Amino acid sequence: MFYILSRLFACTASPWLYILILLGFACFTAKRKVRIGCFSVALVLFLFFSNGYFYGLCLSAYVKPYITDFNAIGHYKYALLPGGFTGYDKARERTDYGFAADRQVDAIELYKLGKVEKLVVTGDGASCKDGNVEVYLDQLERVWGVNREDVIIEPEALNTFQNIDYSLKLVPDMRSENTIVVNSAIYMRRTLLSCRKLDFYPAYYATDVNLSRKWTWQSWIPDFHVMDEWMRLMHEWIGMIAYKLNF
């Protein structure tokens, strides 16, 4: 039920949805003032959601509380990596990496530095039931130099809450204050909420974010790619609502 509810809420995460609704209503209404109002609001929404500067401000406010210093990370037995950073290309029999690949890169760096002993990968594309665990583990060992004996795979999770829940059931020892969660900064708030729901209080490190970006006059030029970034952020806001309703 929770998974279905979160999926339904996610459908409302696109700024384009609201812009198109307003434009559609403006096209079919007979009232001139309402039509002008709908077109005006749609224009304002477009200019706002295609603006990189406004997006940067909102993203920074949302993730800044979870940004920590990589060099200050201590020693942990487990690094827990919620899935979503790889996929499996069946045609080429290869692991593909997405925008969140920093989760794995940073976790491997912690592993190489001796700060974590084992990587727990949960619900990820390349190592889930529809992926290929052997190909994924082979690449980790051959390319990244990670001993496959130090990698624990949880292949069933479909969302953030299941990432934490299923991993704790698979590796109960993670509750012993010896775990650090490595996840994208934009998802960290929801990740830690799931942890608290399960009475689990790990350390954490947020990845995939750059808050030092300099904004110029070009940031004010409408950019359709920013709309995609907004969709991810809005998905998180809506996801938080769904989690709070259930928790």
pLDDT digits (tens, 9 = 90+) for 135-158: 999 999 999 999 999 999 999 998
Q: What is the DSSP letter of 172?
A: G
Q: Given this model, what pLDDT does residue 2 score?
A: 54
The amino acid sitting at 19 is I
Whole-number mean pLDDT of the chain?
89
Smallest CA-to-CA distance from 97 within 131, 129, 70 is with: 131
70-207: which CATH topology?
A: Rossmann fold (3.40.50)
- For 56, the token pair is 């940067």
Using DSSP bridges, classify how beta strands 151-154 and 86-89 pair: parallel, antiparallel or unpaired.
unpaired
Q: Dihedral sign, CA of 180, 181, 184, 187?
A: negative
Q: Where in the chain are the domains?
A: 2-64+224-246, 70-207
Q: Given this model, what pLDDT does residue 243 score?
A: 77
Chain centroid to CA 223: how far?
22
- For 47, the token pair is 């200019």
Q: Given this model, what pLDDT does residue 219 score?
A: 75
Q: Given this model, what pLDDT does residue 110 score?
A: 97
Q: Given this model, what pLDDT does residue 153 score?
A: 95
Positions in the chain short of pLDDT 70:
1-11, 212-213, 247
Q: Given this model, what pLDDT does residue 93 score?
A: 86
